[in-house]
């Protein structure tokens, strides 16, 4: 089921991205020859509207638009439609068409987050001064440290904590005292943790252990009071835009750091997740509720927007970078050169995907 949800989400995000290119190209008077759902090989021609053929393709991961003049070699200088090619338009018009996919992904992320706020999104009660819009407050796991007693006991983010106790004491979850203080007060005694995971009641015994730095013993469990915040529609869209803007800024910082590390020769791929890892995350989000799934899809859409703006060959950002160079040198980059660079870039992206997917599969075991 997680795979099906993942395919639906990915198809939606990529189709919205491609629709941005499509609608901006049509409004600019550029000919669009094909709008493909999925990637070739072609399975079926669905219909033809105007000059655009809509097709269904065998690989269900997204879609594409075939814009006339995207490849300059396809344009006949003496052809009847030369004025409707992409390369015949001004640099600003070309840039708007290339940027449209990114813009539509941001808009989709904003709309999905707004809908999530309307339905109700998980929020930390401790960060709110007004909790009248927050319902179903409970103590939840917000993070689990790697290789900690909590992770070895298979606790996960989102688990609902029922009780935490030692042999001689019970932690008062309504108090202001932290779990860390409770562990220290009881001389690092083993903790009995009763919790719910995906609606199933479970129990784990956590024995605090020292960190690698030899500091105080820990169980690797961070918890917080989490509730569901539901907002009126007008407030939901305001908060949705705020959250989309902040998330986009955070994504830019993270990806900027990855690109910087790559150029200085210290690439770190541990923060990158491929399709296999995303499928697992989709399954987790779906178990927490529809608003979680909407929020997760929104964040992927925003990630897709930022990643596509990276000035790397085969991405929209790379093509925008080529446009910038052409504007500076006042002449087009030879089609053969741009074709070779884009092919190499696409090959490197595929290689990165293979490496990340291999790591994700390895982590499953």
Tens digits of residue pLDDT in 299-316: 889 988 988 888 888 788
pLDDT over threshold 70, residue 321: yes
Cα→Cα distances 42→31, 36, 53, 125, 202, Å: 21, 8, 12, 51, 49
At residue 45, the pLDDT reads 93
Among candidate residues 211, 229, 247, the one where a domain is terminated: 229
Top pLDDT among 342 and 323 is at 323
Contact call for residues 283 and 1 (beta carbons, < 8 A): yes
Task: Report pLDDT digits (tens) over 275-288.
Answer: 555 556 666 665 66
Same domain, 115 and 96: yes
3-state DSSP assignment of residue 281: helix
Alpha carbon of residue 253 to chain centroid = 14
Same domain, 280 and 225: no
Residue 327 has, within 13 A of its CA and on its CB side, a CA count of 13
| Cα(75)–Cα(226) distance, integer angstroms | 58
Residue 348: CB atoms within 10 A of its CB come to 13
- Measured over the CA atoms of residue 273, residue 278, residue 280 and residue 286, the dihedral's sign is positive
pTM: 0.76
| Cα(305)–Cα(356) distance, integer angstroms | 20
Tokens 């638009």 locate to: 65
Same domain, 219 and 244: no
**Structure-token pair, residue 106:** 């941001």
Would you give the end-to-end CA distance of the chain in angstroms?
20
Residue 262: CB atoms within 10 A of its CB come to 12
Same domain, 279 and 337: yes
**Structure-token pair, residue 57:** 């393709």
At residue 207, the pLDDT reads 85
Q: Which domain holds residue 213?
A: 124-229
Q: What is the DSSP string of 195-251?
A: EEETTEEEEEEE--B--TT--S-B--EEEEEEEEE---HHHHHHHHHHHHHHHHHHH
Of the pLDDT bands very low, low, confident and very high (cuts 50, 70, 90), residue 361 is: low
Residue 152: CB atoms within 10 A of its CB come to 15
Tallying the residues shown for the chain, one arrives at 365
| Cα(221)–Cα(157) distance, integer angstroms | 9
Same domain, 148 and 213: yes
Same domain, 116 and 246: yes
Same domain, 215 and 258: no
For 77-123, give the secondary structure using H, E and C.
CCCCCHHHCHHHCCHHHHHHHHHHHHHHHHHHHHHHHHHHHHHCEEE
| Cα(357)–Cα(294) distance, integer angstroms | 24
Report the domain count for the chain: 2
Same domain, 250 and 320: yes
Contacts of 13 (CB under 8 A, 6+ apart): 62, 105, 108, 297, 300, 301, 304
Q: What is the DSSP string of 306-362?
A: HHHTS--TTSHHHHHHHHHHHHHHTSPPPHHHHHHHHHHHHHHHHHHHHHHHHHHHH
Same domain, 113 and 248: yes
- Measured over the CA atoms of residue 219, residue 225, residue 228 and residue 233, the dihedral's sign is negative
**Which CATH number covers residue 199?**
2.30.42.10
Same domain, 203 and 225: yes
Among candidate residues 195, 229, 263, the one where a domain is terminated: 229
Q: What is the DSSP string of 1-39?
A: -HHHHHHHHHHHHHHHHHHHHHHHHHHTT--EEEEEEEE
3-state DSSP assignment of residue 271: coil
At residue 212, the pLDDT reads 61
Same domain, 21 and 42: yes
Least confident residue range of 105-109, 116-120, 138-142: 138-142
| Cα(216)–Cα(209) distance, integer angstroms | 8
pLDDT over threshold 70, residue 164: yes
Same domain, 67 and 152: no
| Cα(108)–Cα(111) distance, integer angstroms | 5
Among candidate residues 208, 229, 250, the one where a domain is terminated: 229
Task: Report pLDDT digits (tens) over 2-47.
Answer: 677 777 888 888 889 999 999 999 999 999 999 998 888 899 999 9
Top pLDDT among 165 and 72 is at 165
Q: Among 330, 328, 346, which residue's Cα sits nearest to residue 338?
A: 346
């Amino acid at each position: 089921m997680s795979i099906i949800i993942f395919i639906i989400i990915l198809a939606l995000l990529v189709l919205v991205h491609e629709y941005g290119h499509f609608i901006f190209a049509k409004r600019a008077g550029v000919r669009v020859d094909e709008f493909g759902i999925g990637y070739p090989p072609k399975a079926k021609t669905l219909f033809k509207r105007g000059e655009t053929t809509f097709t269904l393709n065998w690989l269900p991961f997204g879609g594409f638009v075939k814009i006339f003049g995207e490849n300059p070699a396809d344009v006949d200088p003496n052809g009847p439609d030369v004025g409707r090619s992409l390369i015949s338009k001004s640099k600003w018009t070309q840039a708007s068409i290339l940027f449209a996919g990114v813009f539509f992904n941001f808009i989709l992320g904003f709309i999905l987050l707004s809908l999530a706020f309307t339905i109700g999104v998980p929020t930390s009660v401790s960060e709110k001064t007004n909790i009248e819009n927050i319902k179903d407050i409970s103590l939840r796991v917000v993070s689990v440290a790697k290789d900690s007693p909590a992770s070895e006991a298979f606790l996960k983010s989102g688990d609902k904590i029922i009780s935490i106790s030692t042999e001689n004491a019970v932690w008062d979850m309504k108090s202001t005292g932290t779990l860390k203080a409770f562990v220290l007060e009881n001389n690092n005694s083993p903790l009995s943790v009763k919790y719910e995971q995906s609606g199933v009641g479970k129990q784990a015994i956590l024995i605090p252990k020292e960190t690698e730095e030899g500091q105080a013993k820990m169980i690797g469990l961070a918890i917080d009071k989490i509730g569901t915040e539901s907002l009126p529609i007008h407030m939901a869209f305001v908060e949705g835009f705020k959250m989309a803007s902040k998330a986009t800024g955070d994504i830019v910082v993270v990806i900027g750091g990855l690109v910087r590390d790559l150029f200085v020769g210290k690439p770190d791929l541990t923060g990158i997740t491929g399709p296999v890892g995303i499928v697992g995350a989709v399954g987790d989000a779906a178990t927490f509720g529809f608003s979680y799934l909407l929020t997760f899809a929104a964040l992927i859409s925003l990630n897709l927007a930022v990643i596509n703006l990276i000035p790397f060959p085969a991405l929209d950002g790379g093509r925008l970078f080529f446009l910038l160079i052409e504007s500076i040198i006042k002449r087009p980059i030879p089609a053969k050169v741009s074709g070779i660079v884009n092919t190499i870039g696409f090959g490197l992206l595929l290689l990165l995907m293979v490496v990340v997917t291999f790591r994700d599969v390895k982590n499953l075991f």
